[in-house]
Amino acid sequence: MPGKVKVGIIGSQFEAQIHAESFRILPDEAEVVAVASPTPGNAQKFAKQYNIPRAFTDYKQMLAERDIEMVTIAAPNSLHAQMTIDIANAGKHVVCEKPLCMTLEEADEMIDTCEKKGVLLMYAEELFFTPKYVKAKQMADEGAFGKVYLVKQCEKHFGPHTGWFWDIAKSGGGVFMDMGCHGIAFCYWFLDRPKIKSVYCQMATHVHTDKTKGEDNTICILEFENGAVGLIEDSWARRGGMEDRIEIYGEGGVTYADLHMGNALPTYSEYGYGYAVEKAPTTKGWTYPVFDELYNYGFPQEMHHFARCVRGKETPIATGRDGRVVQQVLYAGYHSAATGKKIELPFTPKNVKTPIELWLKKENKK
Amino acid sequence: MPGKVKVGIIGSQFEAQIHAESFRILPDEAEVVAVASPTPGNAQKFAKQYNIPRAFTDYKQMLAERDIEMVTIAAPNSLHAQMTIDIANAGKHVVCEKPLCMTLEEADEMIDTCEKKGVLLMYAEELFFTPKYVKAKQMADEGAFGKVYLVKQCEKHFGPHTGWFWDIAKSGGGVFMDMGCHGIAFCYWFLDRPKIKSVYCQMATHVHTDKTKGEDNTICILEFENGAVGLIEDSWARRGGMEDRIEIYGEGGVTYADLHMGNALPTYSEYGYGYAVEKAPTTKGWTYPVFDELYNYGFPQEMHHFARCVRGKETPIATGRDGRVVQQVLYAGYHSAATGKKIELPFTPKNVKTPIELWLKKENKK
Amino acid sequence: MPGKVKVGIIGSQFEAQIHAESFRILPDEAEVVAVASPTPGNAQKFAKQYNIPRAFTDYKQMLAERDIEMVTIAAPNSLHAQMTIDIANAGKHVVCEKPLCMTLEEADEMIDTCEKKGVLLMYAEELFFTPKYVKAKQMADEGAFGKVYLVKQCEKHFGPHTGWFWDIAKSGGGVFMDMGCHGIAFCYWFLDRPKIKSVYCQMATHVHTDKTKGEDNTICILEFENGAVGLIEDSWARRGGMEDRIEIYGEGGVTYADLHMGNALPTYSEYGYGYAVEKAPTTKGWTYPVFDELYNYGFPQEMHHFARCVRGKETPIATGRDGRVVQQVLYAGYHSAATGKKIELPFTPKNVKTPIELWLKKENKK
Amino acid sequence: MPGKVKVGIIGSQFEAQIHAESFRILPDEAEVVAVASPTPGNAQKFAKQYNIPRAFTDYKQMLAERDIEMVTIAAPNSLHAQMTIDIANAGKHVVCEKPLCMTLEEADEMIDTCEKKGVLLMYAEELFFTPKYVKAKQMADEGAFGKVYLVKQCEKHFGPHTGWFWDIAKSGGGVFMDMGCHGIAFCYWFLDRPKIKSVYCQMATHVHTDKTKGEDNTICILEFENGAVGLIEDSWARRGGMEDRIEIYGEGGVTYADLHMGNALPTYSEYGYGYAVEKAPTTKGWTYPVFDELYNYGFPQEMHHFARCVRGKETPIATGRDGRVVQQVLYAGYHSAATGKKIELPFTPKNVKTPIELWLKKENKK
């Protein structure tokens, strides 16, 4: 089909809003024509806000719309697999948010189904598109740092707004599941996807014990086959707003890229103002408002790229296979945290329902 | 005419490249179909690099192309007026780079001709679109700072690459003419265009006396009718790369926005890499590479807006009248620097050929 | 006399506390043995807090103490001259806080009296000792920047705590008098004391019209005989805490030194804590606490140096003559702001009672 | 003995220079009267440079000087133990540089001997005195951050100048031995010395395989009994100069303290200048010179404190017992890196000669 790629969104909360906004910011390749969200009223409200013509309560009805070519999933982690399979069976391309799913079995089924049905399974890892991080990779690829031996990435804030994240049955895990997947994918991609040899994690619930069984602060060390190391930190226990940054170390140099304090307008206001940044507690006093937040995270560029892939103009930069690699590292990380040992890959335990159970089943602990 | 606005570019050097790149980055409203540059070969080379179908040595021939709707001027300051008039007479909309022209008479003629011909005279002041600066204005408009009493803007580097800038007959002045126009327009726009009451300038040629008669470092103080003050610094004598930043002071708060060090990836490289930032002397050792340079300056957003204006979807944010206000301040600034007095506006001396002659004619000095 | 220099302090408020603290931080050359403050109880309270053996309500009685060798003046500007003369007449060395005094006549009398009495008149300009600024000067003197053509200094906060500053009869002027003297002295010293050719000032009372007739925001441009320029900004209208920084521009390079944000620990606290920085409005939310505040301003090093000068081990880095140069620039600045003209030095109007009257007497305005 | 504490220094290289400079910067409690260094000529040269009256080739002769009260050890790690014991036997107080020694047995002997002889064994961990870090701890102790759950510290550069560091027989290990001891002590002290429960390390020789068997980049995770975590990074493979910073995370807030980029004067110089910072490769181009380097590291304050302890005016903040805690963590860290497991404390293997052999003996690896 010529013309703009027609897109349907499943979801109506924070992540879905990012999707809709992204298609609006770079509108030349795609248009959102439908949204589906199960809670009565949510889809209509969302459709109205974003000028989307069709709203559904049942996403399967949306999948029946013949003209829709690509569907984005912005729903709880526990629903990613089924939705992906349904979308693929409807002959539409899939954009699945991170983390890919709950289990390796689900990942395999998602990948296989999409392959069989001849549709793309694209993995919405926006860090592959974050302009500042792309610049870092570009410099690395140009030889600026010589052989890169250490990649660090962190993402920290004081916890998600949306309720299901705190319910490990729906999310599959705490902050490592929610945000560690970014760092894992990022290090893997930055180094040009060398095999991951081992995973070590330290995690705990330091602050939000009243809200969740999930871990709220994690440290993860990856060892790669080429000798490089990844160091990933994630937190739902960091006050003061968002933090997302990387550090790259090579034999020949270093670079630092900070998406928040490193981009912000340090600002003091007695009175407050409209909006500073995701997760900012206030706009009074000193704050670090950012500009063009979504663009500087890479969301519009990501969606723009996915639409171009549907048209065959580009090949997906982030795929379900990347998501499956991440999934295995999530398993290994939770297990490592329980046992106090680094876990060598491959690590493919069967019958895991949620990654976090590998941590909570502490009888594995040595 | 429906569909994308068809654009012609006059010029093939640094500024013209920025135009072409900008239309490429946000391509949904316009397409560049022609380029004209007088030096034989330049237009063809440019056309090839940017995939532009038609190339001309004589821009008047380009103006004869009936389908072209908007023409951007990226040529020496001394040619802006004639080109604008020719473009308007050909019934096409004008995007004129800063500074608008050389004299107030030229400015009036440009504005009048475009009005008569019913075409837009849009002034390419990208700082009205620079995302980080737009965020600052947004916060100010939301009341973050209470009444704003001081707006500061500066732009500094070690001097332009292109030769005509150093020839005051072609440029009309040194750094104040080249970059002061940004700061003047910025303060005026940021405060919502209160009348400018007075202008004081201090300027000198500190470093590049071997290259030019033009000033290479300037300090400019504007007093506005509403009591606010603008402080604008410009330099062609600042080593180490680009610097562009603002500071906003109000009764209720402050904000700082730095486009370079404030956005960069502090980077050390033994070996160097592809590109750091405009005017960077090297990519070895410590550097401050930026990301998405043009987007973070606002050039694509500016051109996107201008194209939408041609379609009547928006009203021009920056017009020839803004350029004329700047022109008058340039006059007053050079005269102030010569006399050591602040100059009250209006200030409209006749028979000025280049703004800088008001400075060089130091018999006015008290 | 061998052993530590015995010191008396006149004053008991903010500035006097800085003096006492400074002698405590670097205690090897001097000891504070007396304090005098006219308000009953203040001197005793101060003496108790700082372990000072002798307290006086009448400073002249303190001057009768034979063992005291050096007296520091931390009193309102309008009292500096008389106190200096009294101290000199008592045969003791003088450390006078900035600004030196109210008028050129006072300055001359202070300098002459001290010379006649064979005592040192030392000028407490701490920026000559601020370690970060000293490092900048050191690099400049080592040739890092080639010929320095522009020195910028600014100091900004939201206004003094102590009452007499807002009363121009006691202070002599607003923020230019209070803090502009720092910048004037700094640029002069940094460039190795070239003659100051001209002074231009823009000033206004933007925010504190309810509290004072004094100006609360100033911009001052100095032109030096060697072609260099000084740009000095001062404000009592800047929210959010202290700001003090310099920028140095030379043909061969640049440097930036920020004493607050550039040294601070960016900190977020829900609960607040003891102390962030001078003039900080709060310790909750985001703040920029500094460390070793007095030492990083150079106060202990300054007092240490002055004591060593009393012993003849060093020659005073900052003298009454520096203070007199500043005084003349203060006159010229206020007059410039009134007339809208840059004022060439020397500028020595007679019968001036307070520098600010040269601004308020706007009949001079052209 | 009254008067200043008389000090002897063992050593004449980089670390000894820091000691001598430190006593010079804060001279009111101690004076250096002797230096001993085995290489003929070194002690004399050092003595001349620092105005030290007595120079020795054999430190035991220096220990015979009756008036010396305190001796600082700035010699290779492998000599710390014997020197400490000799100093104690000579009835003098000991200041031992980090790391304390090579083995736990040595540590115990050093502690016991000093105790028996009634002399202080003070451990030269300057991070307990680094003003910026002390400020962070002060805020934490004032409740700024609520319960602190994560303390991060890192120190990175491109490798030591002095030769014996690269020889693991003399040093005992690579960067973890050399600089990891700082981070271990720092986290332990910052949290008020809760028991360390476990240690996990990842280490490798990424860059300097041509120079050393020692590890040149390490990541260390400590788990404390109170639930808090320490994350310590050290590197001899980081280009571009020194990096030393901390991050503190608590339930109620965060703080960041960077001793280099966070304190520096960002500087560009075409020509270069005298000195930027420890380990800086050049002073041309962009650099991050610091100011008051030793003072901002806390070295003078540390030595000042130690001298006051000798006089009984203060109790040692950093003792041999702290050094022994660090020693045990070093053992555990090397063993952890070899086995891929976190090691629970206590961990006290016998017959270890150098901590690094626990890593190199990879038959322990699982």
**pLDDT tens sequence across D229-257:** 999 999 999 999 999 999 999 999 999 99
Percent of chain B topping pLDDT 90: 92
Query: What confidence tier does C161 reach under pLDDT thresholds 50, 70, 90?
Result: confident
Q: Which two tokens stand for residue C94?
A: 């003088």
Output the CA torsion D107→D108→D112→D114 (10° steps).
0
Mean pLDDT value of segment B284-303 = 94
Q: Which two tokens stand for residue D26?
A: 């804060």
Chain D, nearest residue to B267 by Cα: D240
In terms of DSSP bridges, do strands A148-156 and A229-235 run parallel, antiparallel, or are they unpaired? parallel
Radius of gyration over every alpha carbon of chain D, rounded to an integer in angstroms: 20
Q: Which of C135, C283, C295 is closest, CB to CB, to D289?
A: C135
CA distance linking residue C309 with residue C69, whole number of Å: 11
Partners of A3 on chain B (C-beta within 8 Å) are none
Mean pLDDT value of segment C56-79 = 97
Query: What confidence tier does B240 reach under pLDDT thresholds 50, 70, 90?
Result: very high
* Cβ under 8 Å to C: D residues 271-300: 271-274, 283, 289-292, 295
Nearest residue to B126 (alpha-carbon basis) of B37, B25, B194: B25
pLDDT tens sequence across B169-181: 989 999 999 999 9
B contact chains, 3+ CB pairs < 8 A: A, C, D
Nearest CA-CA distance, residue A176 and chain C, Å: 24
Helix (H), strand (E) at residue B35: strand B30-36
Mean pLDDT value of segment C114-127 = 98
Nearest residue to A59 (alpha-carbon basis) of A96, A41, A92, A86: A86
- The answer to whether B231 contacts chain C (CB < 8 Å) is yes
Q: Is the pLDDT of residue B275 over 90?
A: no
Q: Which two tokens stand for residue A336?
A: 């490592």
pLDDT for residue A303:
98
CA distance linking residue D24 with residue D44, whole number of Å: 18
pLDDT tens sequence across C306-353: 999 999 999 999 999 999 999 999 999 999 999 999 999 999 999 899
Nearest CA-CA distance, residue C288 and chain A, Å: 9
**Three-class SS of A134-203:** HHHHHHHHCCCCCCEEEEEEEEECCCCCCHHHHCHHHHCCCHHHHHHHHHHHHHHHHCCCCCEEEEEEEE
Nearest residue to A237 (alpha-carbon basis) of B315, D150, C336: D150
Query: What confidence tier does D161 reach under pLDDT thresholds 50, 70, 90?
Result: confident
Q: Which residues of A56-90 are buried (b: 16+ CB within 10 A; e: fewer)?
A: beebeebbebeebbbbbbbbbbbbbbbbbbbbbeb
Burial of residue D269 (CB within 10 Å: 0-12, 13-18, 19+) is: buried
D286 and B285 in contact by Cβ < 8 A? yes
In terms of DSSP bridges, do strands C243-250 and B217-224 run parallel, antiparallel, or are they unpaired? unpaired
Query: What confidence tier does D102 reach under pLDDT thresholds 50, 70, 90?
Result: very high
Mean pLDDT value of segment C210-220 = 97
pLDDT tens sequence across B86-103: 999 999 999 999 999 999
Query: What confidence tier does B110 reach under pLDDT thresholds 50, 70, 90?
Result: very high
B261: Cβ–Cβ under 8 A, 6 or more apart, which residues?
B243, B288, D266
Percent of chain B topping pLDDT 70: 98
Q: Which of A28, A252, A256 is closest, CB to CB, to B27?
A: A28
A254 and D235 in contact by Cβ < 8 A? no
> Number of CB pairs < 8 Å for C and D?
117
CA distance linking residue C43 with residue D182, whole number of Å: 45
- The answer to whether D304 contacts chain C (CB < 8 Å) is no
Q: Do B259 and B244 contact (CB within 8 A), yes or no?
A: yes
Q: Is the pLDDT of residue C365 over 60?
A: no
Percent of chain A topping pLDDT 90: 92
pLDDT for residue B13:
93
Query: What confidence tier does B365 reach under pLDDT thresholds 50, 70, 90?
Result: very low
CA distance linking residue A32 with residue D57, whole number of Å: 82
Helices C181-190 & C320-339 angle (0-180, nearest 10) = 120
Distance from the first to the final alpha carbon of chain A: 57
pLDDT for residue C1:
53
Instruction: Determine how many CB atoms are found less than 10 A away from the CB of residue B147.
Output: 14
pLDDT for residue A326:
98
Mean pLDDT value of segment A318-330 = 98
pLDDT for residue B366:
39
Q: Which of D147, D221, D238 is closest, CB to CB, to A249?
A: D238
pLDDT for residue C276:
87
- Diameter over CA atoms, chain D: 59
Mean pLDDT value of segment D192-203 = 98
User: A299-308, B270-279, C1-10 — which one is most confidently predicted on average?
Assistant: A299-308
Q: Which of C142, C256, C268 is closest, CB to CB, to D265?
A: C256
Q: Which two tokens stand for residue A107?
A: 């990942």
The complex's ipTM works out to 0.94
- β-strand partners of C198: C223, C344
Mean pLDDT value of segment B300-316 = 98
- Diameter over CA atoms, chain C: 59
Nearest CA-CA distance, residue A163 and chain D, Å: 20
Q: Is the pLDDT of residue A2 over 80?
A: no
Q: Is the pLDDT of residue C173 over 80?
A: yes
> Number of CB pairs < 8 Å for A and C?
30
Lowest average pLDDT, out of A246-260, B284-298, B351-365, goes to B351-365
| pTM beyond cutoff 0.90 | yes
Nearest CA-CA distance, residue A218 and chain C, Å: 21
pLDDT tens sequence across C269-306: 998 998 888 888 889 999 999 999 999 999 999 999 99
Q: Do D323 and D101 contact (CB within 8 A), yes or no?
A: yes
- The answer to whether A261 contacts chain C (CB < 8 Å) is yes
pLDDT for residue D362:
67
Query: What confidence tier does B362 reach under pLDDT thresholds 50, 70, 90?
Result: low
